Amino acid sequence: MRRWIMWFAVGILFAGAGRWSVRADEEVLLAENGQAKATIVVGVEAGTTERFAADELAAILKQVTGATFEIRTDRPREGSCAFVGKQAAGLADEGLKTNDLGAEGILVATKNGQLILTGDTPRGTMYAVYSFLEEVVGCRWWSSKASTIPQKPTLKVGPLQTRYAPPLEYREVFWFDAFDGDWSARNKCNGQAHKLDEKRGGRHQYHGFVHTFFPLIPPDKYFAEHPDWFSMIDGKRKYEQTQLCLTNAAMREELIKNLKAGLKANPAATIASVSQNDCFGSCQCPACAAVDQEEGSPSGVMLRFVNAVAEEVCREIPQVSIDTLAYQYTRKPPKVTRPGANTIVRLCSIECSFSVPLEHERNASFRNDIQGWSKICDRLYIWDYTTNFNHYLRPHPNLRVIGPNIRFFVKNGVKGIFEQGAYTSYGADMAELRAWMLAKLLWNPNQDDRKLMREFLEGYYGPAADSIEAYLTVIHDSVDKSGYYLGCLTGNDPAPSFLPVEVLVEGWKYLKAAEKAAEGQELIANRVRMAQLPVLYSLLRDWKAYRKRSEEIKVEWPFETDPQAVYDRFMTVSKANQVTSTSEWPGGFVWIDQALEAAKK
pLDDT tens-digit profile of 390-414? 999 999 999 999 999 999 999 999 9
Name the nearest CA neighbour of 305 among 262, 251, 237.
251
Q: What share of the chain is helix, strand, coil (3-state, %, to 5)?
A: 45, 15, 40
Q: Is the separation of the CB atoms in 211 and 277 below 8 Å?
A: yes
pLDDT, residue 2, reads 35
Contacts of 512 by beta carbon, 8 Å cutoff, 6+ apart: 558
Domain boundaries of the chain, sorted by first residue: 2-165, 171-350+359-391+399-420+433-445, 461-600
Question: What are the CB-based long-range contacts (under 8 Å, 24+) for 229-234?
Answer: 229/254, 230/283, 231/281, 231/282, 231/283, 231/284, 231/285, 232/283, 232/284, 232/285, 232/288, 233/281, 233/283, 233/284, 234/284
DSSP string covering 388-405 = -TT-TTS----TTTHHHH
pLDDT number for residue 53: 99
**Cβ atoms of 217 and 223 closer than 8 Å:** no
Q: State the Cα–Cα distance between residues 239 and 250, nearest whole angstrom.
A: 17
Are the beta carbons of 490 and 515 closer than 8 angstroms? no
Strands 35-36 and 206-207: unpaired
Tens of pLDDT along 76-112?
Answer: 999 999 999 999 999 999 889 999 999 999 999 999 9
Q: Tell me the residue length of the chain.
A: 601
8 A C-beta contact, residue 472 and residue 465: no
- Per residue, the 3-state secondary structure of 137-204, as one string, reads HCCEECCCCCEECCCCCCEEECCCEEEECCCCCEEEEECHHHHCHHHHHHCCCCCCCCCCCHHHCCCC
Q: How confident is the model at residue 541 (pLDDT cuts 50, 70, 90)?
A: very high
Q: Determine contact, residues 101/116, Cβ cutoff 8 Å.
A: no
Q: Are 233 and 290 in contact (CB under 8 A)?
A: no
Could you tell me if 469 and 450 are in contact, meaning their C-beta atoms sit under 8 angstroms apart?
Answer: no
Task: Count CB atoms within 10 A of the CB of residue 224.
Answer: 8
pLDDT band at 493 (very low <50, low <70, confident <90, very high): low
pLDDT tens-digit readout, 136-161: 999 999 999 999 999 999 999 999 99
pLDDT-derived band at 345 (thresholds 50, 70, 90) equals very high
pTM of the model: 0.95
pLDDT attached to residue 25: 52
What is the C-alpha to C-alpha distance for residues 180 and 189, in angstroms, rounded to an integer? Answer: 10
Q: Count CB-CB contacts under 10 A for residue 240.
A: 11
- The DSSP line for 350-400 is TTS-SSS-TTSGGGHHHHHHHHHHHHH-SSEEEEEE-S-TT-TTS----TT
Question: How far is C-alpha 565 from the chain's CA centre?
Answer: 36
C-alpha–C-alpha distance, residues 208 and 262, integer Å: 9
Q: Residue 5 pLDDT > 80, yes or no?
A: no
- 241 and 297 Cβ atoms separated by less than 8 Å: no
CATH of domain 2-165: 3.30.379.10
- Asked if the model's pLDDT at residue 4 lies above 50, the reply is no
Q: What is the mean pLDDT of residues 251-269?
A: 99
Does the pLDDT value for residue 20 go beyond 90? no
How many of the other CB atoms lie within 10 Å of CB of 444? 20
Residue type present at position 483: G
Could you tell me if 414 and 168 are in contact, meaning their C-beta atoms sit under 8 angstroms apart? yes
Nearest to 552 by CA among 481, 493, 506, 502: 502
Q: What is the mean pLDDT of residues 299-315?
A: 99
Whether residue 498 has pLDDT greater than 50: yes
The answer for residues whose C-beta is within 8 angstroms of residue 56's C-beta and 6 or more apart is 126, 129, 130, 133
Residue 145 falls in which region: left (phi positive, over 0), alpha (psi -120 to 50) or beta: alpha
Q: What are the CA-CA distances from residue 471 to residues 6, 509, 515, 528 (Å)? A: 29, 8, 12, 11
- Can you tell me whether residue 429 is helix, strand or coil? coil
- Confidence band for 17, pLDDT divided at 50, 70 and 90: very low
Judge residue 145's burial from the number of C-beta atoms within 10 Å of its C-beta, 0-12 exposed, 13-18 middle, 19 or more buried.
Answer: middle
CATH fold for the domain made of 171-350+359-391+399-420+433-445: TIM Barrel (3.20.20)
pLDDT band of residue 51 (cuts 50, 70, 90) is very high
Tens digits of per-residue pLDDT, 198-231? 999 999 999 999 999 999 999 999 999 999 999 9
Q: Give the model's pLDDT for residue 248.
A: 99
* Confidence (pLDDT) at 1: 34
Mean pLDDT over the full length of the chain: 95
